[in-house]
Amino acid sequence: MSLADENQTQRNSSLALQRLRVIVDQLEREAREQLPPERELAEEIGVGPRAVRRALDVMEAEGRIWRRQGAGTFIAAARSRTESRIRQLPEMSNMFEVMEVRLRIEPALARLAALRATAAEIARMREIAGKVIEAGDMDSRELWDSSLHRAVAMAAGNTLFLALFDVVDRVRQDDNWRHVREALRTPSSSRLYHSQHGELVDAIERRDPVAAEQVMRKHLLSLQERLMLQSVEGHADAG
């Protein structure tokens, strides 16, 4: 696949996931239980079936939907709706501002998840962490990585925290952000991130809030450090 094709696939999958979240929210408000067939969803959103399937895979891993072979795709039990004014918070664009916020929010979410996550939620986190490792392209890696962090946020059981997480996570889906993170990814950094994901899920499963908080902070600091190094190198090249 050419770089242009991969970029288009990435944009399509991200668009599909964003639109599907809106569609599921609307169907929940209408008390409807089943999504239209994948073909109809693809036509409505304006993307290919592959992008829809990838986005549905992520939503199923998040627990928003479930599938029954031969019957279709169904909406899971409605989760708490966040207040509309939270969703209207301004989106940030500076990557270092975003990292500052993530370092304040996500370690706290990991701590709460270690105290509150159900066995099913922990199993889902471990499954998603495996999907990150198995991902063979940037689009899949980004979708599953974001899904893992959101699974932790959901397991924390705090609606306001989840709303704040969603605001920041929307910034992570920006094309520029995604390409910056992918440019920072090396075989060694990928191994480190995968190891940290595993340590995080292990700490949550052990019900160790201190360790979960520390691992999440260490994980985010690893990313922040690589962002800072790239920024320094970029300024040096520009000079």
168 vs 148, more confident: 148
Q: Which phi and psi (to 5°) does residue 214 adopt?
A: -65, -40
CATH of residue 14: 1.10.10.10
Instruction: Give the range of the structural domain holding residue 185, as residue numbers without chain letter.
Output: 84-238
Helix (H) / strand (E) element for 138: namely helix 138-155
For residues 88 and 71, state if they share a domain: no
For residues 157 and 210, state if they share a domain: yes
Q: Would you state the torsion angle of the CA atoms of residues 9, 13, 16, 22, taken in this order, to the nearest 10 degrees?
A: -150
For residues 97 and 192, state if they share a domain: yes
Residue at a domain's end among 75, 95, 115? 75
Residue 138: per-residue pLDDT? 77
CATH of residue 221: 1.20.120.530
Q: How many domains does the chain have?
A: 2
For residues 107 and 149, state if they share a domain: yes
For residues 97 and 201, state if they share a domain: yes
Q: Who's near 228: CB < 8 A, 6+ residues apart? A: 96
pLDDT over 60 (residue 233): no
For residues 71 and 88, state if they share a domain: no
For residues 164 and 181, state if they share a domain: yes
pLDDT over 80 (residue 90): no
Nearest to 212 by CA among 155, 167, 127: 155
For residues 61 and 112, state if they share a domain: no
For residues 114 and 227, state if they share a domain: yes
Is residue 174 very low, low, confident or very high in pLDDT (cuts 50, 70, 90)? low
Query: pLDDT for 199-220, tens place per residue?
Result: 999 999 999 999 999 999 999 9
Residue at a domain's end among 25, 48, 75? 75
For residues 91 and 64, state if they share a domain: no
Residue at a domain's end among 33, 56, 75? 75
Sequence-separated contacts (24+) of 94-100 with Cβ below 8 Å = 95/177, 95/180, 95/227, 96/224, 96/227, 96/228, 98/168, 98/171, 98/172, 98/177, 99/220, 99/223, 99/224, 99/227
For residues 31 and 135, state if they share a domain: no
For residues 41 and 152, state if they share a domain: no
- Return the exposure string of 150-171: e unless at least 16 CB atoms fall within 10 Å of the residue's CB, then b: bbbbbbbbbeebbbbbbbbbeb
Is residue 17 very low, low, confident or very high in pLDDT (cuts 50, 70, 90)? very high
pTM equals 0.66
